[in-house]
Amino acid sequence: MSAGFQAIGWNRQKIVYDLVLLAGVVLYIATAIALDWRKEPPHNAADLCGLWIRASGACAFLMLTLVLCIGPLARLSRVFLPLLYNRRHFGVLTCIVALTHFAAVLGWYIADGHPFNLFFELTKWSDYASFGTMSFKVFGLGALVIMVLLAATSHDYWLAFLTPPVWKALHMLVYLAFGLLLIHVAKGLLQDERSPWITAYFAGSFALVAGLHILAGWREAPVDRGEAPRDGWIHIGPPSSIPDQRARVVAAPNGERIAVFRDGDEIGAVTNLCAHQNGPLGEGRIVDGCIVCPWHGYEYRLKDGCAPPPFKERLATYPLRLNDGMIEVEPRPLPPGTPASLRIAGA
């Protein structure tokens, strides 16, 4: 969290996550190379580079597909939340695999005896006149540049420096990278590879990622439409309608979401946006009097939205009242860290 700088806050879960990822990458690339080698053994250094180009390219595409599925899956079902915890390491490893793919391409040109041909291909400006004549490598390079930018700014230092909304907006460029990658494949590999299964695999991967994002967005739209306040207050319901140590999430029309938590007889309302990465706090739970973000475990006290010492993050809280036995929240944020919780006997 925020108490002091650490390059990576390693813990057992992150180490296991990364080891599983690394083992998966090694196994995938080794298997792909072995199968390719058996089909067509390499005769020279250029062929060896070709083996790595195909294996690492396929691996990077699969990894990016999986990385992009994690977000919407976690929004659709809590089962997938553990995958979200260390998603940044997954993304950075994907970028590293993609960089080895690019290095192998450069190696192929050098082994072929024409080290500058890639530069000449990419700077043949007349090819950019139409989509049909553009080199497939331009699309791959565009995707790689985006992935390097995102990997370089993935650390919490950049998250704090840019602020979570700007950082999140920047990292949405990964969707563009995925689109560019698919065009790279369609204009490259699929020009020679005629198997309908391989075409279906790539098209299906994109349809899966796009479909999951569209479905998750569609499922969440009703909450964002919000509820019109009556006399300036949004109706929540009786205290018992809020599950113990969980939250109900509401929003005013055109407003940000508010998470109304109950911890026994204490009820508090905070912004739904975690101060770390704007994760959905309302999908988290209360442990030892603190709201725990479901994404990365950041904690905030229910009574005032402050992270417990020595951490310094603070959340905006919202005024609550009990009106005729019903909890109501005023959709006007109080300054971060303002105590605003209610204690209701027999809640």
Partner 1 sequence: MTRNHRLVHRYIWPALAIVVAGLFVTALVTRPPPEPAPQEQKQ
Interaction site with partner 1 (CB under 8 A): 131-132, 165, 168-169, 172, 175-176, 179, 182-183, 186-187, 190-191, 194, 199, 203, 206-207, 210, 213-214, 216-218, 220-221, 224, 251, 254-257, 273, 278, 280
145 versus 214: smaller Cβ distance to partner 1: 214
Paired tokens of 316:
């905006």
**Across the strands, what pairs with 234?**
329
220 versus 266: smaller Cβ distance to partner 1: 220
Rounded least distance, CB 40 to partner 1, Å: 15
CA neighbor of 320 nearest in space, from 344, 345, 337, 299: 344
Rounded least distance, CB 196 to partner 1, Å: 11
Rounded least distance, CB 209 to partner 1, Å: 9
Rounded least distance, CB 276 to partner 1, Å: 13
4 versus 196: smaller Cβ distance to partner 1: 196
- CA dist 53 and 49 (Å) reads 6
285-287 β-sheet, strand order: 285-287, 290-292, 299-301
Q: Strand pairing of 326-329 and 299-301?
A: unpaired
57 versus 107: smaller Cβ distance to partner 1: 57
Residues 268 and 339 sit within 8 Å (Cβ to Cβ): no
Which letter does DSSP use for residue 253 in this model?
T
Please, what's the b/e burial string for 238-255 (b: 16 or more CB within 10 A of its CB; e: otherwise)? ebeebeebbbbebbbeeb
104 versus 252: smaller Cβ distance to partner 1: 252
221 versus 228: smaller Cβ distance to partner 1: 221
Rounded least distance, CB 94 to partner 1, Å: 19
Rounded least distance, CB 199 to partner 1, Å: 7
The string of DSSP letters for 125-156 reads GGGGGSGGGS-HHHHHHHHHHHHHHHHHT-SH
204 versus 264: smaller Cβ distance to partner 1: 204
Rounded least distance, CB 120 to partner 1, Å: 22
- Cα→Cα distances 22→18, 26, 75, 347, Å: 6, 6, 26, 49
Question: Which amino acid would we find at residue 29?
Answer: I
